[in-house]
Amino acid sequence: MLMHVQKSVTKNGIRVVSAAMPQVQSVAFGIWVGVGARHETDAVSGISHFTEHLLFKGTKSRTAREISSAIEGRGGYLNAFTGEENTCYYARLGFDQLASGLDVLADMYRNSNFAQEEIEKERGVIIEEIMMYRDQPRHMVQESLQNLLWPGHALGRPIIGTPETLAGMKRATFKRFVADRYVPANTVVAFAGHIDHAACVAEVERTLGHMAKGRKPAAYTRVSGKMVPRRADFQSKEIEQTHLALGVRLFGARDERRHTLKLLSVVLGENMSSRLFQIVREQHGLAYSIHSHAQLFQDTGALAIGAGLDRKRKVRALELIVRELRRLREKAIGAGELRRAKDYVVGQLRLALESTSQQMMWVGENVLTRGRVIPPEETIAKLERVTSADIQKLAQTVLRPRNLSLAIISPDLSATEESRMKSALAGI
């Protein structure tokens, strides 16, 4: 599924990985940095995301407009994202534009100006982004759930930060942050598409090879078993729907049960054939949107359910959700349902990896977080070995009443309804 994958290390310690796809006419490439929201202190919460924005605002040799036009003017695509554990700057271009495209990303990575005027403008932009999210109860209820699952920890804070933490960030703060974190020892450059690995390594050496290796930054604070998730957070707001986020804190990304977890989540709520969609939406008409997803970090993770519910029948909807969780504990899923879940996951993986961008994401994140590229065939083989008994055992282990956390944002939220919803959780 992945084409020919090769990995090298430059003289100054940058890891270079490529997936050759000779049948395509494009190349996707990304600079991955091992820093994200969980590496931040309370005082600079949001700095990883803020820095990501600022790298697009000009370098010593390019203005912000010249950065975007250098990629888009050649028919390409340029973007970035910040997560809890990493940041990625990436582009996609015709294969003959690789050298010029990597010039742009490398220039952003090593030569950004952090001009005071741009910092002030972007601070306002990000505050507006925060306000946009605060107007989206579906987003806010997920943030509330994160805070319940990881109270007092960086993972419980929003990636974007807050207006208060953003206000304290000065030019020197960003310069120091980049000097400490944006170093070759903490960086992977990934390529996928119509490329030659040796040529990719040569381009990385040309654009970034002169940088000092630096030291890999100190690790983040791990999630302690003593950190007990909080039970519930109920917020009353004048909106049209009740928004629910229900979750349970889990193991990390290296746990072999991750494949079982993925199948459990698919059965529960990842598509229109799932139990939650069929029961809560199709049979009872209580929601337009309901879904589940699993998110795993290096040392911890979560299984979460999100839904926008009929405001007058929110308690009934929660009771139905809890009933489905209890059913996963009490009865093994049938062979047909298991087969459909496996086919869905494998099919989604195969469809995704037809894309140069997704292949670049796969090999880049794998090398950054695991030190090696996990072949998709290895993942598929492990998925195929999962049994119904494995899924039931996992459900019995993690889907316990004391483990669940519930966030609700709802209009007309009464104390009686809060009490009934807490009782519904205990019913699992």
Q: Is 52 a catalytic residue?
A: yes
Q: Give per-residue burial for 7-33: e unless 16+ CB within 10 Å, then b.
A: beebebbbbbbbbbbeebebbbbbbbb
CB atoms within 10 A of CB 212: 10
* Residue from 40, 52, 85, 324 carrying the catalytic annotation: 52
E strand map for 229-369: 232-236, 242-250, 287-296, 301-309
Compute the distance between CA of residue 117 and CA of residue 317 in angstroms, rounded to an integer: 50
List strand residue ranges (DSSP E) for 170-236, in order: 187-193, 232-236
Return the H-helix or E-strand segment holding 408.
strand 404-410
Give alpha helix (H) positions in 183-313.
197-208, 258-269, 275-276
Q: Checking DSSP bridges between strand 187-193 and strand 15-20, what pairing results, if any?
A: parallel
| Overall size of the chain counted in residues | 428
Residue with tokens 């381009």: 203
The CA-atom distances, in angstroms, between 117 and each of 48, 104, 166, 171 are: 19, 22, 15, 10
Q: Could you tell me the sign of the dihedral formed by the alpha carbons of 207, 213, 218, 222, in that order?
A: positive
CB-side exposure of 354: number of CA atoms within 13 Å?
5
- Torsion, Cα of 188, 193, 197, 201 (10° steps): -40
The rounded distance, in Å, linking the Cα atoms of 30 and 364 is: 8
**Are 356 and 92 a contacting pair, CB within 8 Å?**
yes
Give the catalytic positions in this structure.
52
